[in-house]
Amino acid sequence: MNYKAILNAALIALLLIGGAYAAKRILGIELGSKTEEGGHGGAAAADDPSKRRGPHGGRYFGEPDFECEVQIYEPEGVTPEFHVYFYKDGQPFDPKDVKIVIKLERINRTDTINFKKEADYYIGDGDVVEPHSFHAFVNVQAEGRTYEWKFDSIEGRAEMPDEILARAGVEMVKAGPAKIRQSLSLRGRVQLNEQTRSVIHPRFPGVVKTVTKELGDMVKKGDVLATVESNESLQTYEVKADSEGTVIEREVRQGGFVDSEDALFVIVDLSQVWVDFIVHRKDFPLLKAGQAVTIHADEGIESVEATLSYLSPFSAEGSQTMMARAVVPNPKGELRPGLFLTGDVVYEEAEVPVAVKTSALQSFRDWDVVFVRVGTLFEAMPFEIGRRDAEWIEVKAGIPAGISYAAENSFIIKADVMKGGATHDH
């Protein structure tokens, strides 16, 4: 073939391509595609048959002479369930001797669903529980033939090996039993323990000769606080502390006259104080004497464990609150009378069979989830929350005992899931 012939062939090819392109623009035809008017599948079916859709929006399988639609039926307020429809030559079809089984291979188990006839479709005998993340295997026996199809519905899943988890600080824990402590947070104030208050009087009237203790001094039982010369005997006697504690009041001066009814000193043991809490009316029934309470003061002061020792039988008329009191150890003297603080009262303790750490909780779509792990795969697993405290959450349903989950830094897993796209496509 000479040069001129080659050039002519090239020009003809260009004209053909240009004509095809013009036809595409004028007529709206997509080159290389094929549409089926009245068919139930889309163009994507040519690439992936499992993505064909039927008239009810379900997965569509089979050939014209026997077609099957698998729908997850989940209108608002209805628990999701499988509906299966059959078609022949594009029309609804009611085959004979039908047996349908769908197996859902989930991250940690396999669900088997059988079907029975209902109106113009077959309905599954089990709920399709969330998340709808599984490999589905459809087995249909009808009119002496067996059909098998499969499709994938994966969501909320990510893969992360051990070395990545270690670098990210993701802590893995197994779901299991725990003790849930229900608590009530109260506001309170430190008060003097009046049962340790000691008021010191002189035995006889007289003139104060010496004063040996000042405000704030620590004293022991038997320490001399002052000396007084008696008006009757003119003898000097000692005024002594009758208990151990701190001098919080001093109403005496050297050379002054004192009577036997005068209060010279007040001593209180500050190594133990009262904390009086304000309790709102709705919380009255939750409290009783003997319940544990954890006292939280300012930063830098360690929390202190104590118990409620007294509940007032009266309520304040104006605020409709009552008082609950705890006797609290104060060995370092950090809980100073007048200081405001908070206390967490444990009013119920319960052993639960399955619990997860509070730090594991994440949100995914409209669910509360934890990210469970099987092998190197993680998946968002919704669950029903029961009782909870600062450390643990009771699992009422949704998470089996013994499964591993991300307890700390689980947001790393969530970020990886969201990066991959959190689809919900049936």
Return the CATH number at 285.
2.40.30.170
Instruction: Decide which of 237, 268, 299 is a domain's last residue.
Output: 268
Residue 43 clears pLDDT 70, i.e. is over it: no
Judgement on whether residues 240 and 289 belong to the same structural domain of the protein: no
- Per-residue pLDDT, 419: 83
The torsion defined by the Cα of 9, 11, 15 and 16, in degrees rounded to 10, comes to: 20
Domain range spanning residue 143? 59-154
Sequential DSSP letters for 79-147 = --EEEEEEEETTEE---SS-EEEEEEE-SS-EEEEEEEEETTEEEEEEE-PSS--EEEEEEEEETTEEE
Residue 36 clears pLDDT 80, i.e. is over it: no
Judgement on whether residues 169 and 124 belong to the same structural domain of the protein: no
For residue 403, the domain's CATH number is: 2.40.420.20
Q: Determine, yes or no, domain membership for 328.
A: yes
Biggest alpha carbon–alpha carbon distance for the chain:
152
The torsion defined by the Cα of 397, 403, 406 and 408, in degrees rounded to 10, comes to: 80
Model confidence over 100-149: pLDDT tens digits?
Answer: 999 999 999 999 999 999 999 999 999 999 899 999 999 999 989 999 99
Judgement on whether residues 144 and 163 belong to the same structural domain of the protein: no
Instruction: Decide which of 225, 248, 268 is a domain's last residue.
Output: 268
Retrieve residue 311's tokens: 């509940």
- Per-residue pLDDT, 25: 39
Dist. CA 411–CA 169, nearest whole Å:
11
Dist. CA 103–CA 122, nearest whole Å:
16
Q: What number is the average pLDDT over the span 343-357?
A: 94
pTM: 0.64
Better pLDDT: 19 or 228: 228
Judgement on whether residues 258 and 339 belong to the same structural domain of the protein: no
Round the average pLDDT of the chain to a whole number and report it.
87
Judgement on whether residues 68 and 126 belong to the same structural domain of the protein: yes
For residue 257, the domain's CATH number is: 2.40.50.100
Residue 213 clears pLDDT 70, i.e. is over it: yes
168 neighbors 161 (Cβ within 8 angstroms): no
Q: Determine, yes or no, domain membership for 201.
A: yes
Instruction: Decide which of 252, 268, 284 is a domain's last residue.
Output: 268
Q: Residue 333 is which amino acid?
A: G
Judgement on whether residues 113 and 85 belong to the same structural domain of the protein: yes
Dist. CA 137–CA 135, nearest whole Å:
7
Judgement on whether residues 116 and 81 belong to the same structural domain of the protein: yes
Q: Determine, yes or no, domain membership for 51.
A: no
Which residues have CB under 8 Å from 143's CB, separation 6+? 95, 96, 97
- How many separate domains does the chain show? 4
- Per-residue pLDDT, 90: 87
Confidence of residue 300 (pLDDT cuts 50, 70, 90): confident
Judgement on whether residues 357 and 341 belong to the same structural domain of the protein: no
- Per-residue pLDDT, 421: 57
Q: Determine, yes or no, domain membership for 397.
A: yes
Dist. CA 87–CA 40, nearest whole Å:
10
Measure CA 210 to chain center: 66
b/e per residue, 16-46, with b = 16+ CB within 10 A? eeeeeeeeeeeeeeeeeeeeeeeebbeeebe
Better pLDDT: 10 or 194: 194
Confidence of residue 425 (pLDDT cuts 50, 70, 90): low
Judgement on whether residues 400 and 340 belong to the same structural domain of the protein: no
For residue 86, the domain's CATH number is: 2.60.40.3340
Dist. CA 67–CA 118, nearest whole Å:
18
Confidence of residue 28 (pLDDT cuts 50, 70, 90): very low
Dist. CA 324–CA 173, nearest whole Å:
39
Q: Determine, yes or no, domain membership for 38.
A: no
Residue 63 clears pLDDT 70, i.e. is over it: yes
Residue 40 clears pLDDT 90, i.e. is over it: no
Judgement on whether residues 66 and 99 belong to the same structural domain of the protein: yes
Residue 265 clears pLDDT 70, i.e. is over it: yes
Confidence of residue 44 (pLDDT cuts 50, 70, 90): very low
Q: Determine, yes or no, domain membership for 3.
A: no
Q: Determine, yes or no, domain membership for 398.
A: yes
Dist. CA 25–CA 9, nearest whole Å:
25
Judgement on whether residues 312 and 357 belong to the same structural domain of the protein: no
Range name among 264-268, 314-318, 367-371 with the lowest pLDDT average: 314-318
- Per-residue pLDDT, 299: 77
Residue 19 clears pLDDT 50, i.e. is over it: no
Q: Determine, yes or no, domain membership for 36.
A: no
- Per-residue pLDDT, 319: 84
CA nearest neighbour of 396 among 345, 335, 355, 366: 355
Q: What number is the average pLDDT over the span 268-292?
A: 94
- Per-residue pLDDT, 298: 79
Judgement on whether residues 224 and 170 belong to the same structural domain of the protein: no
